[in-house]
Structure 1
Amino acid sequence: MTKRFAVAAVLLLAVALCCARPARAQNYDPAAMQQLSAEFMQLWTDANNARMAGEYDKAVDLFNKLLDPKFENMFIPGIHSYVHMGLGMLYVAYLNLPEEGRLHLEKAIERFGKDIVPDQPYMATGNAAYESAIANCYAMLGEHEKAAEHFLKSIEYNDQFLNGDMAGSMDEKTRVRMTAPNYFYAGRELKKAGRAAAAAPLLEKARDLHLKLEKLGDMSTNKMILSYVFYELGDLDNCIKYYEDYLANYAKEPFIANDDYAKRMLDISRIALAHYYYEAGDWDKALAEIDKSETAALALNWTSDLWRNYHLRGRIREKQGDKSGAVESYKKAIEVVESQRSGLKASDDRASFMELHIEVYKDIIRLLIDLGRPDEALEFLERSKARAFLDMLGGRKLNLPAKAEQNLLEKQVEIEKEINEITAQISTAARGGATRGGAGIAENTEQLRAAQKRLSELLIQVKNMKPEFASLVTVAPPDVSRVSAALAKGDAILEFFPEENGLHIFVITPDGVSLRSAADNAQKIEGLIRLLRSKLTGGSINDSYVPMAEKLYDALIGPVEDLIADADSLALVPHGALHYLPFNALRKGGEFLIDKYVLAVAPSASALGFILDKEKKPAGKLFALGDPVTALPGLPAAEQEVQAISAQFPGASVFYGQDATESRFSAPEVSQAGVVHVASHGLFYPDKPMFSALALTPDPAAGRDGYLQVHEIFGLQLDNAGLVTLSACETGLAAITGGDDLVGLSRAFIYAGAPRVVVSLWTVSDVSTGELMKKFYAGMQGGAAPAPALRQAQLELKSNPDFAHPFYWAPFQLIGDWR
């Protein structure tokens, strides 16, 4: 995918430079245009070189410089379309940030569409190029049917040109060359869309046209595409034959010696051929191409794809039976990935980047398990979790110089004010009201995302103020023995790793690490979780959930029952869909998991190590907010809940309704509180989890919009808090990346200093929640630690016939320290 997008972007820019209509400003200056042209091309080259070197933030900055209006106004109309396309490709194919990529790709699509002049035959070739560009944008967005539609439109425009005034002026080779590739691209996109039957005739047409080109004397590029065509048609032998021919011809081109970009294309082509050899089982030839590719990449510092070479080398070594060699190759690949990751600024970028590279982690974990090296496998499982949260925990004690802190604070306030204003504009537009400048919802949403992105980057700057935190890989690889040593007798940690071939369960006790594997794979487990949640939350209070709860117990707990027979407390480290599972509702026979164990959840074993170091008890004053005034439905029982709880804490700071404002979290009472309790709605945004929030009463005079967002919670000082309870709707939800890193309300409060956070996995009756919370705090006031107190409260609620169903008590879980 990456190679095709990179080549497409370069070729389409070349078409733009050759075919687009030059701008004619009133004071047109050929010399100035030539200078701008040279400046543009230098920036374009530098941006692509940065991308190839794996310097992705630098590439983004350079592409953004290309968006300077001077290039659009004085150079070529629509040239920014290609820049947006380049940025979109960078975000989607390299950084795995589809939302950011979509913003740019949709801009490109809109502008390319405006440049099409359908009723002018003389513009047919330009129209064809623009349609191809639009098609490539849709392909990057994963909208394959739309991509195929526009590739076919490109063919129509080329046919219009070839059958019009130019019908007799072009030789047959040129005529075929203009249409053949897009038959392939259209067929491939339809195949990706699941329409193999519709794709087949287009791919066959592409094959026939490219074979005709071969007879007419067309050379390397034709052979490359013909190779792709045979691959899509399932003919791997001919795919390899034509790709070998293409590569041999391309390598002989004299311009390559002095053209770094051409060398890079040669390097990428070698990687592609190595993959074809790998699929064909020709290991020696694959390794030979990898060797050539690695030599070139290292010589010219092209690190962006070097990890792919090491990864493929590892897979080949596995196939050859050299498992130890495979482990070493996978480790090299991971070193490159983690080095590149350390240079990314925003946490969203880092998490998404890890998602793009997760397969190499899966391979080394699986192989280490197979080799009987569970401690090392667990280390890489921990490293595979995108680690943005762990990085922030590692830098928790950052102290800024006063002046720098003030400057950053001013910038933060400025951006937050902008975000609040844009949010208000969106609300006004949604109600049909007039907005400043007449901007619509789409435009304001785009501005909001851009502002949120700037704020995310600013928050990273805070962490980078101290040299010792300049690298975002400051946290060393997890020391499993350290985590094991922190456990007491009766404690056990279960860390789960479901993958396509089965489930692996790591058991950490004071005695060390054990491993058990089972046949149930990730897909089956995810399906069971979806069914269980739908039965528990679907509105019917009955026993239809029981089969799923029992199957999940058998899958997740059954394989390790003997290893945890002497435990009384379990800390559960989920992976993937398991983050949404109410573990306490798992059952065997008539007994629930919560009947046997004190339960807690942890983001990762490594994060748990930091959390356990805090050793803070939930003692001291209570700070509580209940039933704030928001645009969301009221929580009438929340005020009574907070009143009942506060009665157990003399001198509590308690605020209801209009007084339960967001600005209360800036008051001294919060930093001094031993327990923080919030009874309100929670808002979860999976695409931008840093902006998930607790809904509180707005305080316009203090510049507070009423949404206490994740990035704001990171800035709280809760160093005295032993417990935060979020008695709100779905406060336990968080965005899960392929790297399994999570960002949500609970993680934010842990970063702010709390070693324990109680949350809910779904919306529950505020009446039953109030009962549970009263029992929970009564247990703590009686001397119990939070985790045992929560368990006892859930057991008592479960014994009440009105609330016996898991819907009422199962969603509540404690994240963090269970001691």
Structure 2
Amino acid sequence: MLQVACRRSSAQGTALCESAWNQARFGDLHTALISADSGLKDFPQSDSELHWRFFVLKAEVLMRQGRYEESLAFSAQSLPPQFANSDSAVWQLLSRASSFTYLERYPEAERALQSARSLATSSQPQLVGEVLLRLGTLSSLKWDLDAAKSYFLQSLQFAQQSSDRFLEASALGSLGLVSARMERYGESTDWNTKALEIDRSHGLSSLATKAEGNIGWNYYLVGDFENALSHYDLAIKDAIRSGQEQDHAIWLLNSSQVFYDKGDLSLAEKYALDGLQIAERLNDPSNTIYAKQNLALISAATGQTALAQTYVDESFRLEGPNPDQQRQMYTRLIDGQLALLKPDLFKAERTLNEITKDPAATVSLQWEALATLAQVHAAQGKVAIAETEYSRSIDTIAKAQESVEREEFRLSFLSSAIRFYDQYVNFLLQQNRPLDALKIADLSRAQTLEHGLSSSPNPRAGSARPAPGTNVLALATRPQEIARRLGATLLFYQLGQKSSHLWLISPSEIQLHTLPDEAEIDALVASYRKTLLEDPRDPLESGNPAGKNLYEMLIQPVEKSIPTGSRVIILPDGALRSLNFESLPVYRSNPHYWIEDVTVSVASSLSLLSHVRNERPPRSPDLLFFGDPDPPTTDYPRLADAAEEIRAVQKHFNKKSATLFLNKDARASAYLSSEPGKYSYLHFATHGVASVAKPLESAIILTREGDSYKLYARDILQHHLNAYLVSISACDGAGKRNFAGEGLIGLSWAFLRAGAHNVVAGLWETSTASTPQIMDELYGGLTAGKTPAEALRSAKLSLIHSKTKAYRRPFYWAPFQLYSGS
């Protein structure tokens, strides 16, 4: 019988091998493995060079899939002497070294890599860059970060000199990872972004999943949970497509950690269990331990202390004889926290003390261990020691936030640390020290805004906060003096997981009231906002349970201490930042909105308020006005009443003192070159866009100029202002993204950060029909000598009492909110 099928020729085999390596590089590991097996079948002879090329290819693919034990078992066979100096011999050592590395068999990994380095240097110099890359990975996992960075930089240089884009992208991504471990977050993002650009442009999906995930991890480390989850989701999808099971497990577990920190324990558990299943199937000790750490935290949070302890004990057992010191320290932290819950206070104290004194502990481990140790000592009745530890924990957090270079990262930083401020506040309240508790609550507020203002080229005031390393209660801020100087009652809200608090601060007294937990308040705020935006009826006439409950919850406990017609400054927290307190209905014999009783403005912190002066409007005002730009796209049509708004504002200023950029002249470059810092009033009658993912990319929409038509928040804060008032009639000018401690971040925050004394901005999309009347009344009041708060209140009341019944609804007047700077 004739054989009709034959094996591939040598040329065909070479082509298949090159194609399979490319498949592996581009992330198609499944197809690459099939090609490797096909090549081994076609070239089974041990004296064939192609046989060994397919052999090392299969070992490398198995390693990249996370099948480390399988890769090691397969690649254990020695190459024949004639191939001892070949590139296949180097790749065999590299694949085995990586498998040893990820299995945490570090001595074996080190030996294999040194052999690979020697062989590559002498016989296969084109592979030296790959050896350096894997030496860096080994050093990084051993937490020798300086050595790791050095290896990665050498590998990057080698890749660029040899025009190896795959190696270049690998080295860039690895530099991003090690920079994050070194807590250099901006640097990490830069490296990872460069890596991802190469990955995407060259179709390197096997590397794209790593870059996406590493960017997500960097966002997580600075507390930006939303962007972290967004990048993890992309990384998970890439890992599934490319068959990278270990990476799939990592991004599942990282997502679990984010969901845990967000309080979504159900999703946190699901992702942790899915990641654990993959890690155990791959016999991956690192991710198995990581999964069990997550599950221990989740179990403890749901009251399953015994189950949590089981996960911790398994994590210790899996570490083996050569434990990862950082990972084991985190397991010890969880063990100490469980001991506090049981309570085994002696064990908890010993365990946590060891971590706080360990110089190798990361900054985040330090502050969490200190805060937990403070709880232990408080439970033991060692109040003074507990307070010292709380203070050290907060000081450590503040130093870490201060060291973050990029403003966008400082904004989100407290998201993962805000609970430690809350713990300290609750501790002080238990000691019956409400004033000290208020000071600590204020310490968490507007740190990025105050940092920016105090470090600007022309700061109007220094910080009222204590310097790092000093007593955190040694504040220059005296709340009652602020209230007295401003002639106002201050309402300071702090929302908490179990209960919330309200401090009333007046010139004569400080009151403390306990409120419901954050979840209950959040739900009411969301319900009331939905009513204001979607229900065409007036809440005063239709009745609104959410609005009624909010007034009774937030204002009624202190209403007798707030004189009618007086000034009130709200210092909100959490979801309360998206609520206009003026719009709360007062259902009495004469139903009305709270704006009828008081003059309201909003402030970020007591510390910033300590620098606010009672300023009357400037006597010789000048105006910088941008309005009615030419529509740059169909998404932003011309505003129907922009011309009327221009007339309404312009008539209150002398022609010589008003600089207007209208229509085609209303361009971003005109603002940036107009010396905005010399004007007392800035006004924008334009569209606006609030970015949730990147709040500093919120923008005022202006006339197209080349490819650009946006004045970004990030550009606004780069140009110092001394404006008495900035008015933004754009949509969502207050922003949509709420950061722990910092508040809503968007255009209004950018103008305050740039130095504006006061900003009027919208909490939702404003009505173009009612805006001209609001602005006419606002500037008319300012011209008459009213403060911005008084003038804005009068403008709103003019709508409420107008003949147009629809304008009485909060939808038309309540989006505009006055924010005080410093």
Secondary structure, aligned partner of 1:694: strand
Q: Which moved further from structure 2: 573-582 or 710-719?
A: 710-719
Could you say if the C-alpha distance between residues 494 and 358 of structure 1 is closer, same or farther in structure 2, counting changes exceeding 3 Å? same
| Aligned match of 1:288 | 350
Q: Report matched runs for 1:674-753 at 5 Å.
A: 674-700=680-706, 705-719=708-722, 721-753=723-755
Deviation at 1:677, TM superposition (A): 1.5
State the one-letter code of the partner of 2:809.
H
Contact 1:756-1:815 at 8 Å conserved across structures: yes
1:622-656 deviations in Å (ceiling 9; x for gaps): 22222222331321111111112212212122333
Deviation at 1:691, TM superposition (A): 0.9
TM-score normalized with structure 1 length:
0.69
Secondary structure, aligned partner of 1:41: helix
Q: Is 2:808 aligned against 1:813?
A: no
Structure 1 unaligned blocks of 5 or more: 1-9, 117-126, 159-177, 193-226, 256-260, 400-469
Q: Which moved further from structure 2: 747-756 or 539-548?
A: 539-548
| Aligned match of 2:525 | 529
Deviation at 1:234, TM superposition (A): 7.6
1:579-638 deviations in Å (ceiling 9; x for gaps): 111111123221322112111111222222334388763741222222222331321111
State the one-letter code of the partner of 1:378.
L
In 2, distance between residues paired with 1:717 and 1:67? 31
Deviation at 1:60, TM superposition (A): 5.7
Q: Report matched runs for 1:425-444 at 5 Å.
A: none
Deviation at 1:28, TM superposition (A): 6.0
Could you say if the C-alpha distance between residues 520 and 661 of structure 1 is closer, same or farther in structure 2, counting changes exceeding 3 Å? same
State the one-letter code of the partner of 1:496.
Y
Secondary structure, aligned partner of 1:305: helix
Deviation at 1:294, TM superposition (A): 2.7
| Aligned match of 1:277 | 339
| Aligned match of 2:782 | 780
Could you say if the C-alpha distance between residues 622 and 53 of structure 1 is closer, same or farther in structure 2, counting changes exceeding 3 Å? closer
In 1, distance between residues paired with 2:190 and 2:812? 52
Deviation at 1:798, TM superposition (A): 0.6
In 1, distance between residues paired with 2:506 and 2:383? 29
In 1, distance between residues paired with 2:513 and 2:433? 13
Aligned counterpart for 1:393 among listed residues 441, 453, 460: 453
Contact 2:500-2:514 at 8 Å conserved across structures: yes
Deviation at 1:16, TM superposition (A): 10
Secondary structure, aligned partner of 2:819: strand
Secondary structure, aligned partner of 1:610: coil
| Aligned match of 1:38 | 135
Contact 1:270-1:292 at 8 Å conserved across structures: no
Contact 1:680-1:727 at 8 Å conserved across structures: yes
State the one-letter code of the partner of 2:651.
A
Contact 2:646-2:685 at 8 Å conserved across structures: yes
| Aligned match of 1:122 | none
In 1, distance between residues paired with 2:421 and 2:819? 26
| Aligned match of 2:763 | 761
Secondary structure, aligned partner of 2:403: coil
Contact 2:481-2:507 at 8 Å conserved across structures: yes
In 2, distance between residues paired with 1:760 and 1:83? 40
Could you say if the C-alpha distance between residues 231 and 740 of structure 1 is closer, same or farther in structure 2, counting changes exceeding 3 Å? closer
In 2, distance between residues paired with 1:183 and 1:263? 16
Contact 1:84-1:105 at 8 Å conserved across structures: no
Q: Report matched runs for 1:142-153 at 5 Å.
A: 142=259, 152=277
Q: Report matched runs for 1:375-454 at 5 Å.
A: 375-385=435-445, 387-398=447-458
| Aligned match of 2:102 | 14
Contact 1:85-1:137 at 8 Å conserved across structures: no
Aligned counterpart for 1:649 among listed residues 640, 647, 653: 653
1:6-25 deviations in Å (ceiling 9; x for gaps): xxxx9995159999999999
State the one-letter code of the partner of 1:806.
P
| Aligned match of 1:505 | 502
Q: Report matched runs for 1:439-478 at 5 Å.
A: 478=475
User: Highest CA radius of gyration, 1 or 2?
Assistant: 2
| Aligned match of 1:491 | 488
| Aligned match of 1:625 | 626
Could you say if the C-alpha distance between residues 187 and 483 of structure 1 is closer, same or farther in structure 2, counting changes exceeding 3 Å? closer
Deviation at 1:657, TM superposition (A): 2.4
Secondary structure, aligned partner of 1:600: strand
In 2, distance between residues paired with 1:293 and 1:752? 41
In 2, distance between residues paired with 1:600 and 1:304? 36
Q: Is 2:395 aligned against 1:331?
A: no
Could you say if the C-alpha distance between residues 52 and 288 of structure 1 is closer, same or farther in structure 2, counting changes exceeding 3 Å? farther
In 1, distance between residues paired with 2:663 and 2:469? 41
TM-score normalized with structure 2 length:
0.69
In 1, distance between residues paired with 2:133 and 2:390? 45
What's the RMSD between the two structures over aligned residues? 4.6
In 1, distance between residues paired with 2:682 and 2:189? 45
Secondary structure, aligned partner of 1:656: strand
Aligned counterpart for 1:517 among listed residues 486, 506, 513: 513
Q: Is 2:566 aligned against 1:568?
A: yes
State the one-letter code of the partner of 2:139.
Q
Secondary structure, aligned partner of 1:612: coil
Deviation at 1:500, TM superposition (A): 2.8
Could you say if the C-alpha distance between residues 487 and 41 of structure 1 is closer, same or farther in structure 2, counting changes exceeding 3 Å? same
In 2, distance between residues paired with 1:529 and 1:711? 29
Q: Is 2:92 aligned against 1:95?
A: no
Could you say if the C-alpha distance between residues 542 and 46 of structure 1 is closer, same or farther in structure 2, counting changes exceeding 3 Å? same
Q: Report matched runs for 1:542-691 at 5 Å.
A: 542-543=538-539, 544=542, 546-565=544-563, 568-588=566-586, 589=588, 590-612=591-613, 617=618, 619-630=620-631, 631=633, 632-651=636-655, 652-668=658-674, 670-691=676-697
Contact 2:752-2:821 at 8 Å conserved across structures: no
Deviation at 1:91, TM superposition (A): 2.0
1:96-150 deviations in Å (ceiling 9; x for gaps): 334664576567546644653xxxxxxxxxx765654564465456576577557
Deviation at 1:660, TM superposition (A): 2.2
Contact 1:350-1:386 at 8 Å conserved across structures: no
In 1, distance between residues paired with 2:192 and 2:709? 36
Could you say if the C-alpha distance between residues 518 and 712 of structure 1 is closer, same or farther in structure 2, counting changes exceeding 3 Å? same
Deviation at 1:330, TM superposition (A): 1.3
In 2, distance between residues paired with 1:233 and 1:583? 35
In 1, distance between residues paired with 2:335 and 2:415? 25
Deviation at 1:576, TM superposition (A): 0.6
In 2, distance between residues paired with 1:228 and 1:585? 41
Deviation at 1:289, TM superposition (A): 1.5
Q: Report matched runs for 1:115-514 at 5 Å.
A: 116=243, 129=246, 132-133=249-250, 135-136=252-253, 139=256, 142=259, 152=277, 178=283, 236-237=305-306, 240=309, 243=312, 247=316, 253=321, 262-295=324-357, 297-298=358-359, 300=360, 302-385=362-445, 387-398=447-458, 478-481=475-478, 484-485=481-482, 487-488=484-485, 490-511=487-508, 514=510
1:421-450 deviations in Å (ceiling 9; x for gaps): xxxxxxxxxxxxxxxxxxxxxxxxxxxxxx
State the one-letter code of the partner of 2:435.
D
In 1, distance between residues paired with 2:129 and 2:365? 38
Could you say if the C-alpha distance between residues 472 and 52 of structure 1 is closer, same or farther in structure 2, counting changes exceeding 3 Å? farther
Could you say if the C-alpha distance between residues 147 and 634 of structure 1 is closer, same or farther in structure 2, counting changes exceeding 3 Å? farther
Secondary structure, aligned partner of 1:561: helix
In 1, distance between residues paired with 2:469 and 2:684? 32
Deviation at 1:246, TM superposition (A): 7.2
Deviation at 1:478, TM superposition (A): 4.9
Could you say if the C-alpha distance between residues 534 and 717 of structure 1 is closer, same or farther in structure 2, counting changes exceeding 3 Å? same
| Aligned match of 1:214 | none
